[in-house]
Amino acid sequence: MNSVKTCFYSSKNFRLFYRQSNSVGLEISVSKKFFKLAVERNKIKRRIREVFRRGQLCTSNCIIIFSVFKPFAELSYNEAQDEILQAVRSLEEI
């Protein structure tokens, strides 16, 4: 398994990395440092997974690593969705 991660999108809300792989996947990292309660961390993870599911954002031969920062919690669902879609589209251009 190749463990080299490459950052392809960064903003004040989140950072996206990708790792070449034979499978397709999504890894979400929500730090306890920024979100103390498990309820908050789980809500953010559910929101991100839902955006990927609805947008059918599957990229071939790579795993997307999603690292969330504190301002992400202040985004509405639609704002988060728009930024995530824009970020994943930038991977397709690479």
- Per-residue pLDDT tens digits for 27-66: 899 999 999 999 999 999 999 989 888 877 666 677 888 8
Burial level of 62, CB count in 10 A (0-12/13-18/19+)? buried
pLDDT band for position 93 (50/70/90)?
A: low
- In a domain? residue 42: yes
- In a domain? residue 77: yes
Q: What is the mean pLDDT of residues 7-16?
A: 87
CATH code for position 33: 3.30.230.10
* Number of domains into which the chain is organized: 1
pLDDT band for position 88 (50/70/90)?
A: confident
pTM: 0.81
**pLDDT score for 1:** 47
Cα 87 to Cα 31: distance, rounded to the nearest angstrom = 20
